[in-house]
Amino acid sequence: MRLQQDVQVAVRERLRRLLTSHYDTAPHEVRLTVDWINSQAQLRAVLDQAERAEPDLDHPNFELSLSRGRGSVSWPSQTPDGRAVLIWHLMQSIATADRQGIGEQWVLTYVTEVAFGEPDVTDAWRQFTERVLEPLFSYLIEHIGAQSSVLHVLGRYIRCLEWFDRDMLYELAMADTRKTEEVYDLHLRRFLFDEGIDMPFSQARSASGESDILSDLDSADPLVCELKVFDAKDRDKRHIASGLHQAVHYAEDYGKNTSYLVIVNVSGRPLELPSDGDPKLKPYYLDVAGVRVNLLTVRARPMPTASKLGRPSPVVFSRSDFVDPDA
């Protein structure tokens, strides 16, 4: 909670700096803000999810409409998510203009149209920020305040298990290997409940069966989550692939475009996963049938001391291992 509050305060401070900027330094301040947001994993997770709400928005046309606004702002988006994404792309355009040395020209072209009739360009920039940019900051503050970043919460779950509960859970899971997945599934549900995610349980079956965890399906940030154990034996690559396909089907059944696959690795071998995104950025994800499935791995097997570790022998998953395991 403290981390979220700190991020909220930082978002408000970035907005204050924009509101109080002189027009000739405003584009550079936008550039600094864009760079800062890109460096914040929690904010990027919120924006990445928002991007999928209205994927067909025409960003260049929106910018063109601002340059001809004559005092009006017309939003082509239908949701708060879409509006936030429009603003985010707009701010990236301003940042690009600043890098190219034409930031002030950008201000004179767009800002004076939105604040049409305002003789003071700095006052026009303040009006532009209030009318056009501020909704993005309100959106980020609201979503961070509501603990809306499922990726952030699941990241905390992974650290909780690996740092504090790994030995205890592994012992329970190995006591009856028929119930290994149940042990970790219950632990994840309990953690989500403690994090404020109400009712992390399946309450109804969809056309594709019953998902491990469904929560907040009517919210802007729903949780459709599958958990699968990987042991490199009975629970192998095909078992993990079944989890991905279940996550896709459940998301489709409930009209969602984001889901999560938690891979509990008890094999003791590191996993190398594919990604449809930048391989340098985590979490990895695969886009399948219009659904983005975020892949999260948990090192669930107690590890020997560093002096006793042998040479790592990773298990390498290809994209086809997930998407088409029968190929």
Ranked by mean pLDDT, the top range of 44-58, 262-276, 303-317 is 262-276
* pTM to 2 decimal places: 0.67
User: Could you tell me if 189 and 157 are in contact, meaning their C-beta atoms sit under 8 angstroms apart?
Assistant: no
Comparing 155 with 297, the larger pLDDT belongs to: 297
Q: Which CATH architecture has domain 150-323?
A: 3-Layer(aba) Sandwich (3.40)
Per-residue pLDDT for 287 more than 90? yes
Residues in CB range of 42: below 8 A, 6 or more apart: 3, 4, 7, 144, 149, 152
Percent with pLDDT over 70 in the chain: 88
Interior/surface letters 246-273, b for 16+ CB within 10 angstroms, e for the rest:
bbbbbbbbbebbbbbbbbbbbbebebeb
Q: What DSSP string runs through 284-316?
A: EEEEETTEEEEEEEEE-SPPPPGGG-----PEE
Domain positions in the chain are 2-145, 150-323
Return the sign of the alpha-carbon dihedral for residues 123, 71, 65, 113: negative
- Residue count of the chain: 327
Return the sign of the alpha-carbon dihedral for residues 52, 58, 64, 65: negative
Q: Which residues pair with 213 in a beta bridge?
A: 225
Per-residue pLDDT for 193 more than 80? yes
Residues in CB range of 292: below 8 A, 6 or more apart: 52, 257, 258, 259, 285, 286
User: For the segment 206-249, what is each residue's pLDDT rounded down to a tens digit?
Assistant: 455 555 555 554 454 468 899 999 999 999 999 999 999 999 99
